Copies of this chain bind each other. A is one copy, B any other.
């Protein structure tokens, strides 16, 4: 076990040509993630949060000389306790696995949870966030982090242009991607699914005349947000869909989507009277 090894022990894998190393490094590519149903988690905090969220781990790779900080040691201990197979590598091999990420000497391979709409189980009066057409992993990760903080019951990615278990999304979400109930589906299917469950849709649009704080954000609710480039598509303008905007009081015409999402979600929480902190 890596945790028991002295720092100068010979690592289990020392060649970047090792087929296991190649297979794991391949998970940086969407194609390999989709084919295998696996993804890579970089970093101690992210690994720890994946463990706490009940994600299924296949294995982990550790570079002992690079292991930094109490977080990394704690994450490694948790993996060891859980009986996850741990393989040590030298720094060169680890660099290939970590692909330039600040992974603190620890990467793990996990199974991607189901992203099917019908696998979402929502409580009564759910607060759902829908993000349409998001392109940048950093933005999706940031929205996930806000959704986790605000206690959204689910995040649905409509017409995804990036997959939620892209390692860069995992990192940008600070590992919260594993804790937020998540689904991916075409926008039309998402709208039909929400309507069938009588979940009211509030669409955020920069040009909507109604201010978000004047909208009733209680009850079963989906807050829909578009991509930064295009905003929401016209599909989110049908009967019964209310459009709102954030007051933009300066020179810019829009905020980052994770900021817009957070302001809306926290206003919904405030209106719902959820016991604070």
Contact = CB atoms under 8 A, between A and B. Distances in A.
A180 interface: yes
Interface string A76-101: 00000000000000000000000000
B259 A246 contact: no
B142 A250 contact: no
Interface string A132-144: 0000000000100
Copies in the complex: 2
Interface stretch (A33-41, A206-214, A218-226, A234-242): A206-214
Interface in A230-277: 245-252, 254-256, 258-259, 262-263, 266-267, 269-270, 274, 276-277
Given A259-B146, A262-B259, A262-B262, A250 B213 contact: no
A73 interface: no
A142, A149, A174, A180 interface centre (most CB from chain B within 10 Å): A149
Interface residues of A, number: 44
A136 to B, nearest CB: 13
A198 interface: no
Nearest to A263: B266
Interface of A: 49, 52-53, 142, 145-151, 174-176, 179-180, 208-211, 213-214, 245-252, 254-256, 258-259, 262-263, 266-267, 269-270, 274, 276-277
17 contacts: A49-B251, A52-B251, A145-B259, A148-B249, A148-B250, A148-B251, A148-B252, A149-B252, A175-B251, A175-B252, A179-B250, A179-B252, A247-B266, A259-B259, A262-B263, A263-B266, A267-B270
